[in-house]
Amino acid sequence: MIYKYREFGEYTDKIILNSELFFATYNSFNDPFDCNLDVNSYNNDEFDSYIDDFCESYPQTKSTLLKGQSKKEFREVIKSKLEEFKSHTGILSMSRKNKNILMWSHYSDHHKGLCLVLKK
């Protein structure tokens, strides 16, 4: 069984009445670190090391990956692509447990909502 904790409202009605699920954007989450893929959080040495390791593991991608760019330019491309990806990606949050106090508190309107059972 898979469970979806919800408060009563429009999106919950759509799940029940239309079998329609809502995919949230990453910036609508209550945890500011959730889905935080910040390229700038890596210092230059860490980022360079990651790129070097990646290119060593996948040598055929090095020319395609860097496309003649410096690693600094490549970092900006990655940052831009991540933001683009995040702005076009929806996330469906579910649980394998229906008796999680924290989930009831955060996602079911402080224990006033419901926990739906979704079929796999």
- One pLDDT digit (tens) per residue for the chain, 120 residues: 999 999 999 999 999 999 999 998 888 887 777 877 777 777 888 888 887 887 788 777 666 666 777 777 878 888 888 888 888 889 999 999 999 999 999 999 999 999 999 987
Would residue 16 count as lying in a domain?
yes
Domain count, the chain: 2
pTM of the model: 0.66
Would residue 115 count as lying in a domain?
yes
In angstroms, the CA 75 to CA 51 distance is 10
Predicted local confidence at residue 101, as pLDDT: 95
26-59 residues labelled b (16+ CB within 10 A) or e (exposed)? beeeeeeeeeeeebeeeeeeebeeebeeeeeeee
Q: Are 46 and 83 in a shared domain? A: yes
Predicted local confidence at residue 43, as pLDDT: 82
In angstroms, the CA 12 to CA 102 distance is 19
Would residue 17 count as lying in a domain?
yes
Would residue 33 count as lying in a domain?
no
Predicted local confidence at residue 63, as pLDDT: 67
In angstroms, the CA 62 to CA 60 distance is 6
SS3 1: coil
**Chain centroid to CA 21:** 16
